[in-house]
Amino acid sequence: MAASIIIKRCPTSAAIRARAEELRETLRKFGMTPRVEDGATGELSLFVDGVPMIQRTGDTLPSDEEVESAVRNARPVAG
């Protein structure tokens, strides 16, 4: 079963909205289907199956590698 991936982003910050879309496209390249939703002001968070994996802190935004790693590490290993 595929993991539910949600990217919550600030609804008013153009920079955060753009970064959320970039992250969605990056994850799609790896065969994942993230959904982007409005979050709180200043927010950029990544949830996998409802569990927060990345939450924006300060003025930095997560890199593609950080997001991919967080999602891959959250997915159960098929056995």
Per-residue pLDDT for 39 more than 90?
yes
* CA pair distance 28, 34, nearest whole angstrom: 7
Domain ranges of the chain: 7-48
* CA pair distance 73, 12, nearest whole angstrom: 30
Higher pLDDT, 41 or 73: 41
Q: How much is the pTM?
A: 0.80
Give the pLDDT band (50/70/90) at residue 31: confident
Give the pLDDT band (50/70/90) at residue 66: confident
- Residue range 7-24: mean pLDDT, rounded: 93
